[in-house]
Amino acid sequence: MKRIKLTIGILFILIGLSFIGYPLYYQWSQSQEIDELTSAIHAISTGEEFDNATVAPELKEEIEKGVLHLKIPTIDLHQPILSKTNKNTLNVALTQIKPNQTPGKGNFTIAGHRSLKDGRHFNRLPNVQKGETVILVDDNTKYHYKITKIFEVEPEETDVLTDVKEKQLITLVTCTATGRDRIIVQGELVETKEG
């Protein structure tokens, strides 16, 4: 009987600890994700020019594989998208802000330097207009998004990167000319084409 009471007591303690521990773990993991998103947004600035010879071999390989590309016909943009956002990757290409994104699902987020060189990265992104088309190309599929919003936020405002229930979005992020704030261009998925 004592053994059963002891076992039940230990079981209740473990259940109680899990009720306390889970919210703490969840809060910690959310904090980590917010910190990563904030760091990614802070990494976006006017951009520095780089010497192509100094690009890390693994980045060159990822660019050459070219799994994802972004096209914005109205500003003659056709750029590869790397899978991770940090200062090194932002210097060579557009980058995915959130890890493990799937094109056509949720809010697909892409960062790019504003760049001082015309036509490079998101240099001309501020020239796009509502209603224009953004195309995300993944292997044999093209995801067409219609631009619905263009606005500015402070670097700490990461809520623009979260998924919106029952909407398939694309969110493009670059800095303003001063580098102080971020320009957000957001579009909704309107068409998916195979091939």
What is the spatial distance between Cα 63 and Cα 191, in angstroms, rounded to a whole number? 26
Q: Give tens-digit pLDDT for 74-104.
A: 999 888 888 877 777 777 788 888 888 889 9
What distances in angstroms separate CA 54 from CA 14, 44, 89, 92, one per listed residue?
A: 53, 20, 12, 10
Q: Which among 189, 190, 142 has a CA at the least distance from the CA of 170?
A: 189
CB 172 within 8 A of CB 188: no
pLDDT(43) > 80: no
Residue ranges covered by each domain of the chain:
42-194
Between strands 182-194 and 141-153, the pairing is antiparallel
Q: Which residues are catalytic?
A: 113, 175
Higher pLDDT, 66 or 15: 15
**82/25 Cα distance (integer angstroms):** 30
Structure letter (DSSP) for residue 31: H
pLDDT band at 171 (very low <50, low <70, confident <90, very high): very high
- Give the pairing of strands 133-138 and 107-111: unpaired
Q: How far is CA 184 from CA 9, 47, 100, 127, in A?
A: 54, 17, 21, 12
Radius of gyration of the chain (CA): 21
CATH of 42-194 given 2.40.260.10, 3.40.50.720, 3.40.50.10490, 3.40.50.1370: 2.40.260.10
pTM above 0.75, yes or no: no
Q: What is the pLDDT of residues 114-169, one digit of tens each?
A: 876 676 788 888 999 999 999 999 888 999 999 999 999 998 888 888 889 889 99
79 phi/psi in degrees, rounded to 5: -130, 145
For residue 147, how far is the Cα from the chain centroid? Answer: 17
**Residue 69 pLDDT > 80, yes or no?**
yes
Residue appearing with tokens 């224009």: 132
DSSP H stretches of helix in the chain: 2-43, 57-65, 87-90
